[in-house]
Amino acid sequence: MVSVLTRIFGLKHLEIIEDAVQDTFIKASLSWRTKQPENPEAWLTQAAKNRVLDIFRKLKTEQKHLPNFNQGTDAIALSDLFLDTEIEDAQLRMIFTACHPKLDPRDRISFALKTVSGFSIKEISSALLTKEDTIKKRLSRAKKAVQDSNIQFEIPKGKSLSQRLESVMEVLYLIFNEGFHSNKKEQLIRKDLCREALRLTQLLLKNNLTRTPEVYALCAVMCFHSSRLETKTSTENELLDLKNQDRSKWYWPLIKLGNTMMNKAVETNAFSCYHYEAAIAAEHLKARTFEATDWDKILYWYQCLNILQPMPSNVLTMAVICMQKQDFKMANTYLEQLKPEDFNQRSYLYYGTLSDYYHGINNLDKACKFLDLALTHVSNDLEKDYLIKKNLLLNRKK
C-alpha cells in the first residue's frame, strides 16, 4: 500500500503516506470487529487514499500537492494500481529507491525493511541489533537523502540499471544473511528476514529489466541455504553444525527451485560472486553424508570467489576446508593471513577456527586457549552453548 500510494502521491510525501496507511489499519481493526467488508483490499485502498487526501487538506496543501486524477498517468483508476502486476511494479520502484547508491550504505537496509517490507522500527532494531533511536536516525537520513538528491520513484533503465541492480542485490543479500546467521543474542535464525529477502529477489525475477543471471544466482543461494533452516537447530534449540544436521529433513522443494534458478543463472559465461556462493552451497547439498562432501571442489569454488571478491571470511573458510582435507600445512598458510580484527563482532569464528587447527595438530593447550578466547567474544546464546560443549570435550581430552 505504501508503494502504490507513493506512486500516486510521490516520494516527497512518504511520511504522510506511511502515517495514512498506519491510520487506515487502526481504523480497520476497529471497524471490522463486528463485520469484515466484502472486499477488504478495496476497503483498505480507498480508506488509505482518502486518509492521505484528508491529511493534505488539514495541512492546507491540497491545491499544491494533490495529483490531478483526471489527466495523464494520474488518471489511472486507483483500483487498477492494485492489480498484481501494478503492485509488483510499485514495489520494484520502492526497492530501487530504498537501495539507491546516493543513500548511505548503513541506511539502505533499514530503509528497505521499513518502506518495502513494512517492518516496524522496533522489528528493524531487533533484526539489526541496533538501538531504536539509531534506526530512527537512519530512516530520517535516508528520507532526507531521497529529497535532497531528487531521487525518482522509478525502475532505472539503460546503463544505470546494472549499477543500481548491483546495489539492490547487495542489500537483499545482507538482509538474507542477517536472517540466516543472526547476531541477535537469543536467536540464531530470523526466518522472517530470510523469507522477505527471498520474496524481494523473486520480485526482481518477475520483471524483464531486472531478470539477470546474477539475480537468478542470488535466488539460488537463498533457496539452497533456506532449505537447511529447519535443521540448523535441534528440537532442544541447540545449534547443529553441518556435520550433525539431519539431511533427510532438508527441504527438497527449495533445493529443486534453487537448481532451476542455477540452471538459468549459468546460461551465460559471466559468473558473479553469487554464482560461486550458489555452487558452494549446492556441493554441500549434493553430499549424502558429511563424509562424502567433495572438499576439493568446494575449495576450488572458494578460491574463485576470493579472486572475484577478496574477503577475510573466504580465507578463513578455505582454512577450515583444508582442515577437513587433513592438509594442516595449507590451513596454517591461510590462517597466517588473518587477524581477529578482520571479523569485528564475529571474531569468535576466527578464534574457534584456530582452536580447531591446534586440536587437529594435537596441540591441546593452544586449542583450549583459543576456544576460551572464542567464548569471550561470542554473543549469541546458541553459539555460546555450542562452544561450551566443545570446550568440555576438549578439556576431557587434556
DSSP codes of every residue in 188-253: S--HHHHHHHHHHHHHHHTSTTT--HHHHHHHHHHHHHHTTGGGSB-TTS-B--GGGS-GGGS-HH
Q: Please report which helix (H) or strand (E) contains residue 68, including its range.
A: none
- 121 and 182 belong to one structural domain: yes
pLDDT the model gives residue 258: 97
Give me the amino acid identity at 270: A
Regions of the chain short of the pLDDT cut 50 = 69-75
Q: Is residue 220 part of a domain?
A: no
Backbone angles phi, psi at 270, to 5 degrees: -90, 115
Q: What is the pTM of this model?
A: 0.83
pLDDT the model gives residue 186: 61
Q: Is residue 46 part of a domain?
A: yes
pLDDT the model gives residue 323: 97
Per the CB < 8 A criterion, the answer to whether 258 and 223 are in contact is yes
Tell me the C-alpha to C-alpha distance, in Å, between residue 71 and each of 49, 57, 62: 18, 21, 17
Report the chain's terminal Cα–Cα distance, integer Å: 61
Q: Is residue 53 part of a domain?
A: yes
Last residue of a domain, one of 164, 185, 203: 203
Q: Compute the mean pLDDT over every residue in the chain, rounded to the nearest whole number.
A: 89
pLDDT the model gives residue 293: 97
Angle between helix 2-9 and 14-31 (nearest 10): 130
Q: Is residue 278 part of a domain?
A: no
pLDDT the model gives residue 71: 46
- 119 and 65 belong to one structural domain: no
- 105 and 174 belong to one structural domain: yes
According to DSSP, the residues that pair with 233 across neighbouring strands are 239
- 24 and 92 belong to one structural domain: no
pLDDT the model gives residue 82: 64
CA 146 to centroid of chain Cα atoms? 22
- 64 and 22 belong to one structural domain: yes
Q: Is residue 176 part of a domain?
A: yes
Instruction: State the Cα–Cα distance between residues 182 and 175, nearest whole angstrom.
Output: 10
| Tally: H helices and E strands in the chain | 19, 0
Instruction: State the Cα–Cα distance between residues 188 and 286, nearest whole angstrom.
Output: 25
Last residue of a domain, one of 179, 203, 227: 203
Q: Let me know the angle formed at the C-alpha of 158 by 157 and 162, rounded to the nearest 5 degrees.
A: 85
Instruction: State the Cα–Cα distance between residues 351 and 377, nearest whole angstrom.
Output: 9
- 113 and 197 belong to one structural domain: yes
Query: What is the CB neighbour count within 10 angstroms for residue 271?
Result: 18
Residues 6+ apart with CB under 8 A from 102: 145, 149, 151
SS3 of residue 130 by DSSP: coil
- 77 and 131 belong to one structural domain: no
Instruction: State the Cα–Cα distance between residues 76 and 50, nearest whole angstrom.
Output: 16
pLDDT the model gives residue 312: 93
Burial 283-314 (b: 16+ CB within 10 A, else e): bbbeeeeeeebebeebbbbbebbbeeeeebeb
Query: What is the CB neighbour count within 10 angstroms for residue 329?
Result: 8
Q: How many domains does the chain have?
A: 2
Instruction: State the Cα–Cα distance between residues 330 and 324, nearest whole angstrom.
Output: 11
Q: Is residue 271 part of a domain?
A: no
pLDDT the model gives residue 79: 59
Tell me the C-alpha to C-alpha distance, in Å, between residue 160 and each of 96, 100, 150, 166, 357: 11, 11, 16, 10, 46
Q: Is residue 301 part of a domain?
A: no
Domain residue limits at 27: 1-82
pLDDT the model gives residue 202: 96
Last residue of a domain, one of 59, 82, 105: 82
Instruction: State the Cα–Cα distance between residues 89 and 7, nearest whole angstrom.
Output: 10
Per the CB < 8 A criterion, the answer to whether 242 and 284 are in contact is yes
- 90 and 138 belong to one structural domain: yes
CA 117 to centroid of chain Cα atoms? 12
